[in-house]
């Protein structure tokens, strides 16, 4: 059995995916394994502080080819409007020859990937095993399982809203469901062109079928029922559990601008809102969110992208907003050091879009969670947290169109932060319980060690 593994990684070029892969790379390097991490040239500095083992984790720069319609120099989804995200996929597709050349020279044992459906075939050509690393929670795999719904191949995608409104038979938590607007959003996303004339569903299903092994970032302690459900219905594919993959604290310091500002407020008083690198709200909902933050009466820091139709955050702000919130509110339009902000003692509430990476960081913080899902797996992630684990308060939205009011934002924040509120106390206690579980000595190690052992065993 080969003791030291050499693993290449090429994640979807979105910051949440890149950081999630790098967190796993750190866990593997900690055990002496070598990692070759393909990363866009100009994006590398943003992740450098997350590399805890630079002697074992080598960043291999990749030039992201220019595609018509993309801004010059665009490398990740953070660099483009949400509607242009599929063109980042087009650009990744153009790197096949580059990745193939690297695989030929590096000769890794495995390559970890997601979305690039051509990688399993390319890897086999170079004698490399491919691992599809799903950075989301198991609940999504369980809910969207075509096998569990009795949909045979090649009809390997769910077409209608009606299908998605009902969980598959035997789903572990019968109280979990999608709203009508969520099902409609998912049907659109699953069937839209996601680069190369392929849909997201088609890419996912090819990745899943063609790879040598699937790995999910989760643990039985949190998602045992969903793990068993998936195992029952997808027993033809080897699925490994990687565990919680607890993110290490970045080695960098929080930017002085944010650190100094946060230091001016009392412990646990600041509301932090971050909706990820891909979320772009309609202008009216963007302003409603800002009014909701203002209405809480709490100091707040919001990391948001400009809304649709606006080039900058400043041009989209409600009239008089800066004057009314001067000294107690910051609206930032760029990337922020989310993990460091979450652990600042002044931050007491986190409004999150429920991306899996953000939730992993949030679960380890002492912030109260306000769940504000926007798309794809985030809807089910939010239900897992609000309905199953009961660790956060979800923002109330309209069933049909997903719209929300400033009052709904304010109510969710105040419910989560109010120590006299019954619901707030319940989610606070549950959050503490699950944080302690995830940080329990030996828990993560047991999963990572078993994961490595499985990888070694597959090499013979």
Q: Provide the annotated active-site residues.
A: 17, 114
3-class DSSP state for residue 175?
coil
* DSSP code per residue over 144-163: T-TTTTT--TT--S---HHH
Count other Cβ atoms within 10 Å, centred on residue 83: 11
Which residues contact residue 190 at a Cβ distance below 8 angstroms, ignoring those fewer than 6 apart?
157, 158, 199, 200, 201
- DSSP conformation class of 343: T
Which among 21, 25, 23, 439 is positioned nearest to 248, based on CA atoms? 23
* DSSP code per residue over 75-106: -SGGGS-GGGHHHHHHHHHTTHHHHHHHHHHH
Which residues contact residue 102 at a Cβ distance below 8 angstroms, ignoring those fewer than 6 apart?
8, 36, 38, 60
* Element (DSSP H or E) covering residue 443: helix 443-459
Q: Is the peptide bond before 83 cis (omega within 30 degrees of 0)?
A: no
Whether the Cβ atoms of residue 12 and residue 115 lie closer than 8 Å to each other: yes
Torsion-angle region of residue 326: left (phi > 0), alpha (psi -120 to 50) or beta?
Answer: beta
Helix-strand-coil split of the chain, %, nearest 5: 45, 15, 45
What strands, in cross-sheet order, belong to the sheet with 57-62?
57-62, 34-40, 6-10, 110-113, 129-134, 213-216, 239-241
Whether the Cβ atoms of residue 88 and residue 66 lie closer than 8 Å to each other: no
Task: Strands of 248-305 (E only): list them.
Answer: 270-274, 300-303
Task: Strands of 321-435 (E only): list them.
Answer: 329-332, 347-352, 368-371, 392-394
Which backbone phi and psi does 3 adopt, to 5 degrees?
-80, -45
Which among 138, 103, 214 is positioned nearest to 377, based on CA atoms? 138
Task: Strands of 3-84 (E only): list them.
Answer: 6-10, 34-40, 57-62
Which residues contact residue 431 at a Cβ distance below 8 angstroms, ignoring those fewer than 6 apart?
363, 368, 369, 391, 392
Which backbone phi and psi does 446 adopt, to 5 degrees?
-65, -40
d(CA 364, CA 366): 7
């Amino acid at each position: 059995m080969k003791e030291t593994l050499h693993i290449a990684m090429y994640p979807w070029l979105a910051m949440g995916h890149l950081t999630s892969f790098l967190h796993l790379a750190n866990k593997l390097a900690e055990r002496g394994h070598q990692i070759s991490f393909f990363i866009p040239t100009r994006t590398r500095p943003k992740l450098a502080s997350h590399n805890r083992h630079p002697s074992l984790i080598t960043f291999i720069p990749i030039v992201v080819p220019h595609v018509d319609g993309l801004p010059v120099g665009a490398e990740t989804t953070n660099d483009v409007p949400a509607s242009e995200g599929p063109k980042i996929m087009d650009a990744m597709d153009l790197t096949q020859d580059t990745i193939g050349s690297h695989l030929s020279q590096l000769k890794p044992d495995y390559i970890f990937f997601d979305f690039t459906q051509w990688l399993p075939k390319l890897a086999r050509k170079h004698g490399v095993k491919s691992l599809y690393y799903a950075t989301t929670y198991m609940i999504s795999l369980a809910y969207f399982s075509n096998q569990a719904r009795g949909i045979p191949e090649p009809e390997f995608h769910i077409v209608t809203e009606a299908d998605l409104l009902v969980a598959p038979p035997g789903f572990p938590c019968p109280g979990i469901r999608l709203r009508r607007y969520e099902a409609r959003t998912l049907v659109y996303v699953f069937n839209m062109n996601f680069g190369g004339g392929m849909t997201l569903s088609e890419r996912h299903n090819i990745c899943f079928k063609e790879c040598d092994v699937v790995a999910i970032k989760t643990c039985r302690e949190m998602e045992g029922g969903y793990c068993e459900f998936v195992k029952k219905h997808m027993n033809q594919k080897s699925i490994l559990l990687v565990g919680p993959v607890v993110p290490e604290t970045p080695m960098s310091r929080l930017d002085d601008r944010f650190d100094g500002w946060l230091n001016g407020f009392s412990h646990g008083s600041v509301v932090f809102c971050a909706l990820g690198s891909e979320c772009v709200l309609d202008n009216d909902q963007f302003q409603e969110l800002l009014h909701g933050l203002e209405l809480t009466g709490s100091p707040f820091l919001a990391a948001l992208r400009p809304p649709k139709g606006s080039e900058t955050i400043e041009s989209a702000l409600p009239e008089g907003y800066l004057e009314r919130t001067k000294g107690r509110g910051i609206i930032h339009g760029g990337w922020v050091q989310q993990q460091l902000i979450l652990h600042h003692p002044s931050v007491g509430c986190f409004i999150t879009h429920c991306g899996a990476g953000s939730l992993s960081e949030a679960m380890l913080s002492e912030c109260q969670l306000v769940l504000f899902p926007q798309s794809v797996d985030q809807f089910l992630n939010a239900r897992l947290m609000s309905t199953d684990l009961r660790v956060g308060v979800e923002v109330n939205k309209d069933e049909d169109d997903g719209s929300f009011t400033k009052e709904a934002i304010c109510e969710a924040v105040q419910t989560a932060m109010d120590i006299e509120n019954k619901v707030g106390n319940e989610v606070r206690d549950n959050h503490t319980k699950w944080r302690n579980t995830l940080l329990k000595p030996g828990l993560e190690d047991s999963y990572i060690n078993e994961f490595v052992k499985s990888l070694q065993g597959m090499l013979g």
